[in-house]
Structure 1
């Protein structure tokens, strides 16, 4: 599902809930960035403030930006280089009027089945679904399967290669590991050292950081649709806001 933050288009990733019944969409923190596209260090990059309205396609009312890893890291003076570079995660709280419209299943593939606890190894299969409007509504190109190039950045980053790489508008979209577990958030398009690979921020680490430092306490919502690793591209299903 697409989100628009001050006109910047991204794709939401996973659904999260809290103990009081709140429902949230995950997106990349850089979706609320106000600097250049090359500003990827979250401890330095500028961002719109918490409380910013976020338009969610299909929702009846705007959501609200309630957590940004960039703002949290800057506020607490984070100094770990890997965390600063790869912790790219935000939460958009949905209006209660839209709670009943949410389906946490990843389009086409189903899942997530659980948070990933082990990351990825070299050549592990990964799955994603991009929803950029630059595809002109051609959903055949939205489901993506690829391979992980392992992990770096102290486990914060998973470089991946998919048959069609993520493009502008896909930013923030979900990645699943080979078992359908929530792996990460599409963060960057790399030019080097591996051209046209994507950087995926580890969502388990990102949520742990948010819950420890960001004034939130959220849990991943698992999908209602079973994970289908061998789903054909023609079997496109709607997900997140199933409208």
Structure 2
């Protein structure tokens, strides 16, 4: 059994077949518990998350029904939904929840620091990125849950993209990260770390003019939208492109 949250919320059988979990509220309960795998989520917190801060009088009974329904689906699998004061906890292997698998893949890649480990780290990071199927918790029915989880999960995805680019630059294949960097920058155009890595990757591909053009575009945008000059990362990338370092 596997819980996937990086896209529409699904409970999948071992063969990858999606199971019918029920309505949006039940998916929100599953998502909230899976995000906190191994930790108790208090009933009050679940009610607040699942019903967007305004649980009706019937919400507690409805929550118990959703928990019972999820337990029936999980019965006999490697994941267990247990009652623990003051709420509920989902227990099981971290590899059975895509969010936690991604975090572990990133940690493994970052731990690969010995010479000759860059290609292995690239494989781990690409595997992690491939687990995203769209916006996280896309159909869970709880704006509060999505808003609570989204910043951390998006930050995690951006960190993986950046680590991937750094590793590819080290092995002389920075061009292989251009698609991921460009996609991330479309969503976060003022993130200087991404912009600097894009410049370095373009430069490594022999595209100096493109790298300089990107620098000037973000310099103008930083000035117009934030009133600041490019920071150290962008300045260092510019120096690399100009060959002054």
With the shorter chain as reference, the TM-score category is under 0.3
What TM-score comes out, normalization by structure 1 length? 0.24
TM-score (norm 2): 0.23
Q: Which has more strand, going by share of residues?
A: 1
Q: Normalized per residue, which structure has more helix?
A: 2
